[in-house]
Structure 1
Amino acid sequence: MQCGSPDCPSREQGWLAISNFGSVRSLQRGLAILQAVNRHNGMKAADIAKLAGVPRPTAYRLLETLEGLGFVIRSQSGDMWRPTLQTKSLSSGFRDKDWVAQIAVPQMMKLGRKLLWPLDLVTFRNFRMEIRESTHNISPFSVDHGMVGRGLPVLDTAGGRAYLAYLPDAEREQVLEALRAELGEEKVGFHEDGPLEFILDRTRQIGLGYRMRGFNERTMSISAPVMAEHRPVACLTMIWIGSALRFEDAVRTHGDALKATARSIADELARLTLENNDL
């Protein structure tokens, strides 16, 4: 049957046929085959089978199925398989915000269960620090709930200060100019924790944004930047009750773990971004 004839199944019908015929294991193998082809952009079926960990006859069957669906193509001159532009459709629904759920949340939950104090992941939006995810719901020490989606002031929070400290100079000045226009010079330059320049310098020295006073008198916080291409894309903040833990002790006992998790999120985000750009 030639593709294009009235009886030729559509790609959507092809996916349904696979679902009806195969199993979850077949789907796993098919995705492994597609990933192998995509990574190497030109491989023999035998090598694809070995890399994907499937029997050679299965690899041939799945490659022919993927070819029928338009995701791979076999060279005319030999047994070499390559991905097609159709593979880009698999990443078309991926949005920048999806990395939060895919990468950040699992690592936040893991760290949150270890530290017990609640964690927030914040990003810069409309000159506020927006809480994207939180572990307040699993923390036995949380004093705040329903935090996701809440906007926090940039200048008065550990996450906002970490964000500003690690922004490229030109971007930081643009943000500060906008905040001066909104708040006035005095509210931008001076805070209960000291002058802004002093706070940002200390943030870079210890590798953590911090808040000891102001904004919420019951709590303190430290925040590690999640870096991507030499700029922060988010900040991971730990919040604790000030009367229960001294600031210096919090930095000493939890600071390294917070920074390590922020780096791990950044590394995983870089890997995922590279894979999606390669599609």
Structure 2
Amino acid sequence: MSTDKNDTSFSASEAADARGDRSDTVSALERGISVLRCFSEERPVLGHADIARMTGIPRPTVNRLVATLLSMGMLKAAQVADRFMLGPGVVSLSRVFLGSLDVRAAARPSMQAMAEEVGASVYLAIRDGMEMVLIEACRPRSSMLSARLDVGSRAPLANSALGRAYLSALPEAQRNQLIDSMRLLRGPEWDGIAPGMTRAIGEARRLGYCLSLGEFHREINSVSVPFIGPDGEVMSLNGGGAAFVFSEERLRNELAPRLHDIALTIARDIGGHVPTPTPSPG
């Protein structure tokens, strides 16, 4: 799903350095997972050299990691020689994870109804590292233009509405820690990302929702609202679509209230809650 502009992939060592928890990790496992995370919708087939370049892991080590993942069914050989794809072992794990998420069953009817009634794509996401990963996706049966996102697709925390809504609902200390990590990982581009993110987080805390107007996908506008599960996990609901259909005014006046109502319904059904907006004084 990521593009060069919004590519948030980084090596396992960089992620651990940003978290400051390398002493608690197993480096071999960390490297194996970083290999799996190289594969995406835009990069479904990769070779040894591609993986080495993307992870920063030495080529001989990549060769051994790939061989191990092949033997365990996490990768499989592609039709092109010395190229690989995600294997059925990954699908099995994904099914177990998704099947355990009762929130999806609670969310889907309302999400699909909204998608059909307003013509928007509607998503539900949780955080994974420095990205939001979709765990449910509903689209209208006919749409002029929509983001090509599905379950498993990812969106960056900093410049997607999903990520900004998530950040707004975190305790301040946890939010600041994540923002510090993103600042390190995004490098020079951070100065261009941070102002919009900061404004959106502030808006979400005041109004209960925030926007991304062409900042993640240039032709897509969207709005997101956060809610919190019974175990304290923050999740985000998102609605939107083609910018020429979903103007800022329509997002604020039509989609945001609808998403808020859906968030309230889901939270009630699973025993969670929706953060209470805190309007600015005056």
- Decide: shared fold, TM above 0.5: yes
C-alpha spacing 1:101/1:228, structure 2 compared with 1 (3 Å) = closer
Q: TM-score with structure 2 length normalisation?
A: 0.56
Which runs of structure 1 show a deviation greater than 3 angstroms over 4 or more consecutive aligned residues?
93-97, 186-190, 229-232
Structure 1 regions of 5+ residues with no counterpart? 1-92, 272-279
Alpha-carbon distance in structure 2 between the residues aligned to 1:139 and 1:123: 27
Report how far residue 106 of structure 1 moved.
2.0
Match of 1:34 in 2: none
- The partner residue of 2:193 within 191, 194, 197 is 191
Match of 1:176 in 2: 179
Report how far residue 241 of structure 1 moved.
1.0
Alpha-carbon distance in structure 2 between the residues aligned to 1:94 and 1:243: 36
- Could you say what the CA RMSD is over the residues aligned between the two structures, in angstroms? 2.6
Match of 2:106 in 1: 103
Does the aligned pair in 2 maintain the 1:188–1:196 contact within 8 Å? no
Aligned-partner residue type, residue 175 of structure 1: L
C-alpha spacing 1:163/1:231, structure 2 compared with 1 (3 Å) = farther
Match of 1:47 in 2: none
1:203-222 Cα offsets, whole Å, 9 max, x none, are 22221121013221111000
Corresponding position: 1:217 with 2:218: yes
Match of 2:33 in 1: none
Match of 1:162 in 2: 165
Does the aligned pair in 1 maintain the 2:222–2:238 contact within 8 Å? yes
Match of 2:40 in 1: none
Structure 2 regions of 5+ residues with no counterpart? 1-95, 273-282
Identity %: 21
Alpha-carbon distance in structure 2 between the residues aligned to 1:157 and 1:136: 18
C-alpha spacing 1:197/1:183, structure 2 compared with 1 (3 Å) = same
Q: TM-score with structure 1 length normalisation?
A: 0.57
Corresponding position: 1:121 with 2:124: yes
**Greater Rg, structure 1 or structure 2?**
1
Report how far residue 255 of structure 1 moved.
1.3
Report how far residue 98 of structure 1 moved.
2.0
1:28-77 Cα offsets, whole Å, 9 max, x none, are xxxxxxxxxxxxxxxxxxxxxxxxxxxxxxxxxxxxxxxxxxxxxxxxxx
Match of 2:155 in 1: 152
Alpha-carbon distance in structure 2 between the residues aligned to 1:120 and 1:139: 17
C-alpha spacing 1:213/1:112, structure 2 compared with 1 (3 Å) = closer
The 3-state SS of whatever aligns with 1:159 is helix
Match of 2:206 in 1: 205
Does the aligned pair in 2 maintain the 1:127–1:179 contact within 8 Å? yes
Does the aligned pair in 2 maintain the 1:176–1:188 contact within 8 Å? no
The 3-state SS of whatever aligns with 1:149 is coil
Does the aligned pair in 2 maintain the 1:226–1:234 contact within 8 Å? yes
- The partner residue of 1:130 within 127, 133, 152 is 133
The 3-state SS of whatever aligns with 1:123 is strand
1:247-279 Cα offsets, whole Å, 9 max, x none, are 0222112211111101111111117xxxxxxxx
C-alpha spacing 1:99/1:139, structure 2 compared with 1 (3 Å) = farther
Aligned-partner residue type, residue 270 of structure 1: G
Alpha-carbon distance in structure 1 between the residues aligned to 2:111 and 2:119: 11
Alpha-carbon distance in structure 1 between the residues aligned to 2:129 and 2:239: 23
Alpha-carbon distance in structure 2 between the residues aligned to 1:210 and 1:261: 17
Q: How does 1:22-171 map to 2 (within 5 A)?
A: 97-136=100-139, 138=141, 140-145=143-148, 147-171=150-174
C-alpha spacing 1:94/1:164, structure 2 compared with 1 (3 Å) = closer
Match of 2:25 in 1: none
1:143-176 Cα offsets, whole Å, 9 max, x none, are 3445210111111100100000111111112211
Aligned-partner residue type, residue 191 of structure 1: I
Higher relative helix content: 1
